[in-house]
A and B are shown apart, each in its own frame.
Chain A
Amino acid sequence: MGFRRMDPQYIRNFSIIAHIDHGKSTLADQLLLKTGAITQREFHEQILDDLDVERERGITVKARTVAIPYKHTDGKTYELNLIDTPGHVDFHYEVNRSLAACEGALLLVDAFQGVQAQTVANAYAAIDVNLAIIPVVNKIDLPVTRVDEVLEEIESILGLDPYTALKVSAKKGINIDDVFHAIVDRVPPPSGKADNALQALVFDSKYDSFRGVITYIRVVEGTVRKGQQVQFMRGGTMHQVLDVGQFRPRMTPVESLGPGQVGFFLTGVKEIDKINVGDTVTDVARPAKKALPGYKKPKQMVFCGMYPTDSNDFEKLRDELQRLSLNDSSFSYFPETSDALGFGYRCGFLGMLHMEIVQQRLEKEQDVDLIQTAPNVTYELLLRNGDVFTIDNPQDVPDPSTIDEFREPIAKVSYILPKAYIGPIMQLCEERRGTYKTTEYMGSERAQLVYEMPLAEIVYDMYDKLKSVTSGYGTMDYEVIGFLPADLVKMDIMVKGEKVDALSTITHRSTSARRGRSLCKRLKEEITRHQFEIPIQAAIGGKVIARETISALRKNVTAKCYGGDITRKRKLLEKQKEGKKRMKQFGSVEIPQKAFLSVLSAGDE
């Protein structure tokens, strides 16, 4: 298929960035609809789909990309490349890579909800890479809006000129032409020359069972064409380009992609972890001198153990994890063993939401009964002998006498919330060892509160806490900024005198007693009574700091068991026994799956 290479001056590359639910997908679809890239019917179906997705979790995990041909009022046809960004806090790096592939961004803000935590985070990320930012106030068709206040927020919090903001309704198609004009007029065209050595940024990848890995690229310099031998500069691997194409919005083959263009290529590679987001593609025959900046290996910050309840399911779990990782290179898994749980995997995630997504997929797409241990963050240890290493499993904490510094990841957290909730949220942050940074007021009603907090204190349930304390009005965003030494200890749990390794946690010494008590209490609730007494103890380095006792069964007798009762009573007992099979036998104690997660909520009294 012939395709005339685009002159970069007619190319515009942009992202839409927004807080969850502010209408990103709808605006994207409206742009497609207006240019005829999708039909009215597809538009409606799309909206329905998005609603479903939002209902489920409200996130775009995978970025969507589409090349939109647009005939401008100047009579010229432009190629507008929309590069969608993952909409969640756990995917900062992916967002940054997508933004790095653009020259401009539409900053979408809900006309009623206004600037929210992720609006701020995304706007700053776009400012950091020098994008032209076009503020767009969306949903102006809503019966109640506060457009003027939202414009004020855009100015006061983000430092953007409110007079440059567009006012639209993506859903109703109001003022969509303004959006096109702004993209053409205000987003700079890409630079780059077709004859230069190839430099293309990998900003996403996707696994397809027929085609293998689809690599999403933005060409910065030079040209990529079918048949070319290319090299991933960071990964070091070389491949032949089997196919090149654009998303219009369906995958459409083209001869080549020139500077400024956005599309995909196929190499036949089957393993997604061989293609790294942020890597630079160059020509083997004429390599670029250096890679594009900004590449990082995805870094898992949250870890948990996943074990099959039935040890016979271990291989099934492995296959399933492998299948999931085909499409998600930011998720890692390594085999591990636990005395309590047997053979399983330690899995790493970018954040809590990422973990939940993976876990939900495992549950939905397979019938392996899983025990998931409470998540923990990565820690850094400086030993007395000078060695520094990181651990992602509480069981790996060495003898405390060998540790010089125990460091934990610290995140910068920003909350945007109605002023009335500042007090309660500050209190929550202080309780969780947060360090207050700033408060900025946004108009008369809301404020942005910034704390630096240990990531461990955030991942457990900060998001849920924020939502409940602020009646759903507060939003948050966080980013890991580094590691700091802290007085951390490993707390073990003993059930009937035996340590259950999968229940060990790393906790701050100052809160360990409280955590220990509440964890013992939670376990007491989760573990059903047995024929004998079960002491539950929390201990640090062998010293017991909390204790609860589950009393033995005292009376449990079927009173009547005559001819007509036998079958029924037997089935009743069999059913109870069946329920026990789903628990993990530890010594003589049966511990239900849920108990392994009780560490999560153990922070509360």
Chain B
Amino acid sequence: MTYRSVYVHVPFCRHRCGYCDFTLVAGRDDLIGDYLDALDLELKRVEGVVEIDTLFFGGGTPTHLPPEALRRLFEIVLSRFRLASGYEFSVEANPANLSLETVDVLAQAGVNRVSLGAQSFDSRSLAMLERDHRAEDIELAVRWLRRQGIANLSLDLIFGVPGQNLAEWRETIRRAIELQPPHVSAYGLTFEKGTAFWTRRQKGQLEQADEELERAMYAVAMEELPAARLVQYELSNYAHAGFECRHNAMYWSGEPFEAFGPGAARLIDGVRQTNHRSVFTWIKRLQSGESPVGETDPLTAEGRARELIFVGLRRTSGIDRRIFESRTSLSLDALAGGSIRRQTSLGLLEDTGTHIRLTREGRFVADSVIAEFL
């Protein structure tokens, strides 16, 4: 199976937020030129011009690039790929530095979906998250994008921010809904090892939200967003019918995809590879003609099948037995019958006969259910 999706990582930001563990260099815009050159070198791996269905630029903040550099980025990538009709072309953006000029560049390049890092509408949470935008900037960004014809918008929201209460979270959801985006991602804040938040929590300087509060916040998201026709289709994702992110859905169905840029991960021929996470190393390796790959994770057939359960259960539609079996040549029940029965009896999993999927309660403790299948 050849890939129909491409991810490009853009590792630049004005500032590294305390909770962020993505591959990026903040305040090193001097590296943008080298990055673009290196990306061009990495893309030489692509033979000819490949037709794809989804293209996703993530980061970092792709829109942090100055308009000229952003234009060059799109040129470099689009010279290797042809977007098939009905394509989805997504770019992540920060409401803080989204200029009209940048929005123009996006529209001209054919971008038809933008994911905005809104995170919150209350200033206290935004400050805690070290975001450099205000609630008004989100509204402005939405207006500009729509004016340029980019209507497929997604708002990223974070709950469980230290100090955030349930009422504030409800208000953030309310204001997000008010903007009528066709897609919302609502993420529980995660303390990732190596981040400033992690260290501060270790030192007792930062208090993680209470588990019951986080649960209540998650419950609010699962109630309020669907009430506004934003149907939950994945553990953290909600969309109007037909506006589910096709690129991300591709990850959860285990399809192959290519990826470029530092720290970018790809799945080709059943092998997961991750590029070196250091921006500098990634650039150096490409400059000197070496492979930018940092890690390779070859999976056995069974490992691949278990991983498919791991990602598949994230979708509310769950796993279709027939599709699973045709893709893995393994029977879901032979592989995990015991776990399915156990989790079903606990009310965390639903088995319809054709599908297995997490129940509403199962979503709250998804990791504990998913871990059973590994």
Q: Which residues of A contact B (CB under 8 A)?
A: 530-532, 552-564, 566-567, 570, 573-574, 576-577, 588
Asked if B365 and A531 sit within 8 Å, CB to CB, the answer is yes
B368 to chain A, nearest CB (A): 5
Whole-angstrom CA separation of A558 from B297 in the bound complex? 21
Q: 3 closest A-B pairs (Cβ-Cβ)?
A: A559-B187, A564-B265, A555-B215
Residues on the A chain within 8 Å of B366, using CB:
556-558
Residues on the A chain within 8 Å of B252, using CB:
561
A–B complex contacts, Cβ < 8 Å, 27 sampled? A531-B348, A531-B365, A532-B346, A554-B364, A555-B211, A555-B214, A555-B215, A557-B235, A557-B363, A558-B366, A559-B189, A561-B235, A561-B251, A561-B311, A563-B251, A563-B257, A563-B265, A563-B267, A564-B259, A564-B274, A566-B265, A566-B272, A566-B311, A567-B265, A567-B272, A567-B274, A567-B297
Whole-angstrom CA separation of A262 from B311 in the bound complex? 75
Asked if B272 and A557 sit within 8 Å, CB to CB, the answer is no
Whole-angstrom CA separation of A213 from B368 in the bound complex? 55
Whole-angstrom CA separation of A422 from B19 in the bound complex? 55
Task: Write the chain B residue with the least CB distance to A566.
Answer: B311
Asked if B367 and A556 sit within 8 Å, CB to CB, the answer is yes
Q: Which residues of B contact A (CB under 8 A)?
A: 7, 9, 58, 187-190, 211-212, 214-215, 218, 235-236, 248, 251-252, 257, 259, 263-267, 272, 274, 295, 297, 307, 310-311, 314, 342-343, 346, 348, 363-371, 374
Whole-angstrom CA separation of A559 from B156 in the bound complex? 12
Instruction: List 20 additional A-B contacts (Cβ < 8 Å) besides A559-B187, A573-B310, A577-B374.
Output: A531-B343, A531-B365, A532-B346, A553-B368, A554-B364, A557-B188, A557-B236, A557-B364, A559-B189, A559-B190, A560-B236, A561-B235, A562-B251, A563-B264, A563-B267, A564-B274, A566-B311, A573-B370, A576-B371, A577-B371
A590 to chain B, nearest CB (A): 12
A583 to chain B, nearest CB (A): 14
Whole-angstrom CA separation of A573 from B374 in the bound complex? 8
Number of A-B contacts (CB under 8 A): 99
Decide: A556 near B364, CB < 8 A? Known: A563-B251, A570-B310, A570-B374.
Answer: yes
Decide: A557 near B346, CB < 8 A? Known: A564-B264, A567-B297.
Answer: no
Whole-angstrom CA separation of A138 from B190 in the bound complex? 62
A327 to chain B, nearest CB (A): 44
Residues on the B chain within 8 Å of A552, using CB:
365
Whole-angstrom CA separation of A530 from B346 in the bound complex? 11
Whole-angstrom CA separation of A574 from B7 in the bound complex? 26
Residues on the B chain within 8 Å of A554, using CB:
211-212, 215, 364-365
B56 to chain A, nearest CB (A): 8
Asked if B365 and A563 sit within 8 Å, CB to CB, the answer is no
A579 to chain B, nearest CB (A): 11
Task: Write the chain A residue with the least CB distance to B212.
Answer: A554
Residues on the A chain within 8 Å of B257, using CB:
563
| Neighbour of B7 across the interface among A553, A557, A563, A573, CB < 8 A | A563
Decide: A558 near B374, CB < 8 A? Known: A531-B369, A563-B7, A570-B307.
Answer: no
Task: Write the chain B residue with the least CB distance to A560.
Answer: B187
B101 to chain A, nearest CB (A): 29
Task: Write the chain A residue with the least CB distance to B211.
Answer: A554
A522 to chain B, nearest CB (A): 22
A529 to chain B, nearest CB (A): 9
Whole-angstrom CA separation of A557 from B348 in the bound complex? 13
Asked if B374 and A566 sit within 8 Å, CB to CB, the answer is no
B21 to chain A, nearest CB (A): 10
Asked if B367 and A563 sit within 8 Å, CB to CB, the answer is no
Residues on the B chain within 8 Å of A559, using CB:
187-190, 235-236
Residues on the A chain within 8 Å of B272, using CB:
566-567
B257 to chain A, nearest CB (A): 6
A297 to chain B, nearest CB (A): 50
Residues on the A chain within 8 Å of B58, using CB:
562
Whole-angstrom CA separation of A558 from B236 in the bound complex? 9
A561 to chain B, nearest CB (A): 6
B196 to chain A, nearest CB (A): 18
B259 to chain A, nearest CB (A): 6
Whole-angstrom CA separation of A429 from B49 in the bound complex? 85
Whole-angstrom CA separation of A52 from B363 in the bound complex? 55
B219 to chain A, nearest CB (A): 9
- Residue from the set B7, B188, B267 with the largest chain A CB neighbour count within 10 Å: B188
Residues on the B chain within 8 Å of A531, using CB:
343, 346, 348, 365, 368-369
Residues on the B chain within 8 Å of A574, using CB:
371, 374
Whole-angstrom CA separation of A131 from B307 in the bound complex? 76
Residues on the A chain within 8 Å of B235, using CB:
557-559, 561
Whole-angstrom CA separation of A588 from B264 in the bound complex? 40
Whole-angstrom CA separation of A475 from B68 in the bound complex? 80
Whole-angstrom CA separation of A470 from B133 in the bound complex? 61
B91 to chain A, nearest CB (A): 15
Decide: A557 near B367, CB < 8 A? Known: A562-B248, A566-B307, A567-B272.
Answer: yes
Asked if A555 and B274 sit within 8 Å, CB to CB, the answer is no
Asked if B364 and A555 sit within 8 Å, CB to CB, the answer is yes
Residues on the A chain within 8 Å of B348, using CB:
531
- Residue from the set A555, A556, A562, A577 with the largest chain B CB neighbour count within 10 Å: A555
A36 to chain B, nearest CB (A): 61
Asked if A555 and B310 sit within 8 Å, CB to CB, the answer is no
Residues on the B chain within 8 Å of A562, using CB:
58, 248, 251
Residues on the B chain within 8 Å of A555, using CB:
188, 211, 214-215, 218, 364-365
Residues on the B chain within 8 Å of A530, using CB:
368
Task: Write the chain B residue with the least CB distance to A561.
Answer: B314
Task: Write the chain A residue with the least CB distance to B7.
Answer: A563
Whole-angstrom CA separation of A566 from B187 in the bound complex? 16
Residues on the A chain within 8 Å of B189, using CB:
559
Task: Write the chain B residue with the least CB distance to A576.
Answer: B371
Asked if A573 and B367 sit within 8 Å, CB to CB, the answer is yes
Asked if A557 and B365 sit within 8 Å, CB to CB, the answer is yes
Whole-angstrom CA separation of A273 from B251 in the bound complex? 65
Asked if A564 and B267 sit within 8 Å, CB to CB, the answer is no
Residues on the A chain within 8 Å of B370, using CB:
573
A188 to chain B, nearest CB (A): 69
Residues on the B chain within 8 Å of A570, using CB:
307, 310, 374
Whole-angstrom CA separation of A563 from B258 in the bound complex? 10
Whole-angstrom CA separation of A567 from B277 in the bound complex? 14
Residues on the B chain within 8 Å of A564, using CB:
7, 9, 259, 263-265, 274
Whole-angstrom CA separation of A556 from B366 in the bound complex? 6
Residues on the A chain within 8 Å of B368, using CB:
530-531, 553, 556
